Amino acid sequence: MKIIIIGGNGTIGRAVAGKLKDEHDVIIAGSRTGDMQPDLGRRDSILSFFEKTGHFDALVSAAGAAYLAPIQDLEEKHFRVGLDSKLLGQINLVLIGQRYINKGGSFTLTSGIVAEEPIRQGAAAMTVDAAVNAFVKAASTELTNDVRINAVAPGVVEGSPHLHHYFPGHIPVSMEKVSMAYLKSVLGILNGEVIRAY
C-alpha cells in the first residue's frame, strides 16, 4: 500500500512509520522535515501536497499542535493554535484527500486522551481533541468508495517526558501500544471509531 504519514518524523509518527515501512510504500511528511512539508494551517499547502503525492491507499495524521495554559490566561488566539492545525488541518486532510484516496482506503487522525479526561490547563486541547473525534464519527457515515476513517486517542506517551507533569497519576503509554493502535486503524476494518491507546 501507498501510505502517507503526516508528522512521520515526530515521536508517534516515527514509531508508526517504523511498523509500516518494510511492507509498504511510506511517504513521510512533516512541517520541517520529511519527503514533503505541508503546512496543516494552510489549505492551499495541503492541496499542493496532494497534487504532488497523487493517489494513495492510507493516510495517517500524527501531527497538529494544541495550547496548554490556565483558563484564566487563555484567549482566542490560544485556541486558534489547535483549531487551525490539529482540527482544521486534519479535517482538510480528509476533505481534500478524499479526492485522491483509492477505493477501500483509510484516514487515521489523531485526537487524545484529554478529549474524555480533562487535565489541568487543558481546556483548549480538550476542545480540539473532542472535535476531532466528533468529525471522525460524522465523516465515517458519508465517505464513499468504502473509505474508512478513525481517530487514535493516545494517552501521554513514554517518549514525551516533557508532558508527563500535565498528567499526574497517568501511566505513560508505551510507543508499542500507541503504534499498534494506528496499525489497527490502517490495516484493520474499523470505521468511525476512536481507538483509545491509554
Number of other CB atoms surrounding residue 161 within 10 Å:
10
Tell me what pLDDT residue 104 has: 98
pLDDT at 106 over 90: yes
Nearest alpha-carbon partner for 126 in 60, 196, 172, 68: 68
| Confidence label for 180 from pLDDT (cuts 50, 70 and 90) | very high
Residues 52-92 pLDDT 10s = 999 999 999 999 888 999 999 999 999 999 999 999 999 99
Beta carbons within 8 Å of 115's beta carbon, 6+ residues apart: 126, 129, 130, 132, 133, 153, 194
Query: Nine-digit cell at 14?
Result: 516515527
Beta carbons within 8 Å of 34's beta carbon, 6+ residues apart: 8, 9, 28
Nearest alpha-carbon partner for 131 in 74, 198, 185, 79: 79
- Say if pTM beats, i.e. exceeds, 0.85: yes
Instruction: Give the integer Cα–Cα distance in Å for 174 and 11.
Output: 11
| Confidence label for 120 from pLDDT (cuts 50, 70 and 90) | very high
Please say whether the dihedral angle defined by the alpha carbons of residues 183, 31, 98 and 52, taken in this order, is positive or negative. negative
Residues 5-27 pLDDT 10s = 999 999 999 999 999 999 999 99
Q: What domains can you pick out in the chain, each with its CATH number? A: 2-197 (3.40.50.720)
Residues 140-165 pLDDT 10s = 999 999 999 999 999 999 989 999 99
Tell me what pLDDT residue 30 has: 87
